[in-house]
Amino acid sequence: MLPSPHEATISNDRLVVRWLFEGPQNVSSVSWRQQQLTQDDDLGQIEEGITGEGQARYAGKPITQSAPQVPKLNHVVILVHGINTMALWQNEISNVLKGEGFEPRPVGYDKFGVWSFLRPSDKKRREAIAFVTTNILDARTEFPDAKISIIAHSFGTYVVTQFLEQNKSFQVSRLILCGSVLPRLYSFVSLATRLLPTAQPDKKIINECGTHDVWPVLAERVTKRYGPSGTFGSNDGRVLSRWHKYMWHSGFLNAPFCRKFWIPFLKNGTVIGGEQNEAQITWWIRLLARLPLKSMLVAIPILVGLCWLTSDPPASYRIGAGTRGIGYANSVLTDIKTALIGSSRYSCPTDCLRGRERVTVESVDSAKLARVVIPGEFACKRCYPMEALRKFMATFPACLRVEGMDTGRLSIDVNPSGTEDWTDSDGQQWKRCKVRVH
């Protein structure tokens, strides 16, 4: 006798599959199981375990239940990234948008470096705008009847507004800016008329601002093209600036933020409240926004260049050996002493950049230094005075007694135990260094 048809009972969160057998008694056993299904689980195919004759009897007849389909919203969301990034966040946001019925379209351009972002030339910027324009217009061609919204980050906010200015007939459903580098006085008057109504008709553009986002401020401080609207908000009344505490430049670009703040706005224009004023912006960003960085960036290289040109370059010190193999060190040591004394008066920062040390010579026995000779030669090409002194002491370690090398307050004298009396052919007395290290 054939078994009666199976029955399936499906509730909101549970699927119970029941097999009823009315066959012969020799059916040894039947196993069945329940599969708990939640909203986020796919239903998939339910495979039942059947043993004995029942397995052969019902082979090839699996019970299946298709997954619930998220209704398509006929709504394309363009994602545009910023500079100096691989834009991995676009994948995370795309997955959220797909799960909510949207059609995400990540749009980018060739890697755009900091120098390309800052330099006055427009070539790289035009290339980025042209590439994004092509991709957005392709999306419109592919989905001619769909709504199109845009989420742009950092430099992407500049690119998107340039695209909309150049394509004045292009209609946008929603516009979300985060970490924006647009000027605060940028006017959206020509764009607002092309945005579909939202739950708040006077707030058709969302501008996400981070209280710890310093990059829009730096962009505004060092260039003329960009502005800090991603930190201090937009002054255009058509834009809703929404602040988020402790948020940094890319802190918006994650799935939880997208689900909480962007999905309701994209679906029906619902705006979830954030901090509605910039009171929480950290103090050092406020201070940075007041500094004349543009003037400083121009003045500093000029000052450094002037100091470099006016500061003394390294010198060369050389002691040659005479006929008896003796070099008279008096002139070189005197020159080093004079240069060391002069080093205490140099304050130009490029002396440090050049490697010159500032020292103070507190005491020196000039008379004894003028009577020193060395066995052989000594040379230090393109050396600052402290460098020459260290090399002389390394070559003749016992000849001089120098104190205060670590503090920069020098006391220089001839070391009696490291020198010996020596008389030249004219009968003059000298102090000859005993030891030479090769």
Sheet holding 419-423, edge to edge: 326-328, 372-375, 429-433, 419-423
**In the prediction, which pLDDT does 22 show?**
39
Yes or no: say if 358 and 415 are a contact pair by the CB < 8 Å rule.
Answer: no
The predicted model gives 395-399 an average pLDDT of 89
Banded model confidence at residue 58, pLDDT cuts 50, 70, 90: very low
From its phi and psi, is residue 395 left (phi > 0), alpha (psi between -120 and 50) or beta?
alpha
Domain coordinates of the chain in residue numbers? 7-64, 75-291, 307-433
pLDDT digits (tens, 9 = 90+) for 173-205: 999 999 999 999 998 877 766 666 554 555 679
75-291 maps to CATH 3.40.50.1820: yes
- State yes or no: pLDDT of 348 exceeds 80: no
Banded model confidence at residue 362, pLDDT cuts 50, 70, 90: confident
pLDDT digits (tens, 9 = 90+) for 200-233: 555 679 999 999 999 899 888 888 888 999 999 9
Residues 6+ apart with CB under 8 A from 311: 346, 348, 350, 351, 354, 356
Phi–psi pair at 373, nearest 5 degrees: -125, 160
CB atoms within 10 A of CB 364: 19
Tokens of 119: 């330099």
